[in-house]
Structure 1
Amino acid sequence: MTEFWNSWWAFFFMLAPFVIGSLGMAMILVMAYRNLDMILDTFPNSEYVQRQKMLWGNSGLYSRFILTSSLAAVALLPKGHIKRGELDENEVRNLPHFIKRRMLIAWWLCFVGMAWLCLAVGLLKLTGN
């Protein structure tokens, strides 16, 4: 097994989660500039969205990125927020499907990248390298 960790395969194996996670983050960044205004217009009466907008703002790179990623997480898993009355169920349904699909892909890329990285570090620790 130590031969593997000294090969180029190991380099690519350890680089892959960063590439995958970066693609997900890049998708969220693109949505922050292309689709954030449309996303915010979709949720005019949702308390959670308005609170996040006040907390993070929507003018700078960092604030737009954080706001978009938090809204993506809520749009993908809205049930808890709907039960608490923080999101309007009709507004969640009105979110354009192409945006919701991009959000889903971006979050899965980030999740897979993180899971792969944890697996790779665990394997590296187990082999003693």
Structure 2
Amino acid sequence: MSFFLVYSIVLMAGVFVLLGLVLFAEYRKLDELESYFSENEKVRRHKRFWGRNQPIDRFHRMGLMIDFLSMPKTHIKAGLVTEAELASVPIALRRWALWPYRMTYVWIVACIICEIWFRW
């Protein structure tokens, strides 16, 4: 068995693991995460617009939370969120929100490497 085949199998299995983690974060952790920003006007407006609980709605609402947690200084400076709101989010919940999406970036780079390797 070649190393490329093993790499491809691991890469394809990884997509299902990442999909499961992202869906778990969106369906189990999103409401808890939004509860820490219940007084935030941007979050309330975003939840009102994307509030039908469809997968695309949860994706966009989770995207706002990830923006807040991944670049806090930018959003504090813009006045969209306060330091107290960000400090109130537990570190474990931050990890559940951020790491599945960060791992998808690693997976995308691995796919690009796979494609270059296949064409070589």
TM (normalized to structure 1)?
A: 0.75
Alignment correspondent of 1:81: 75
Compared CA separation, residues 33 and 120, structure 1 to 2 (3 A): same
Alignment correspondent of 1:113: 107
Provide Cα deviations, 1:45-93, integer angstroms capped at 9, x if missing partner.
3333233323322522332233224412431222211111111221111
Fraction of identical pairs, as percent? 22
Alignment correspondent of 1:49: 43
Q: Tell me the matched-pair count.
A: 120
Check the 8 A contact 2:29/2:96 in 1, yes or no: no
Matches within 5 A, 1:3-82: 8-57=2-51, 59-82=53-76
Task: In structure 1, give the amino acid aligned to 2:4.
Answer: A
Check the 8 A contact 2:29/2:97 in 1, yes or no: no
Max radius of gyration: which structure? 1
Compared CA separation, residues 46 and 25, structure 1 to 2 (3 A): farther
Q: Relative contact order: is structure 1 or structure 2 higher (C-alpha 8 Å, sep ≥ 6)?
A: 1
3-state SS of 1:35 partner: helix
Distance 1:40 1:101 in 2: 15
RMSD, aligned CA: 2.3
Task: In structure 2, give the amino acid aligned to 1:80.
Answer: T
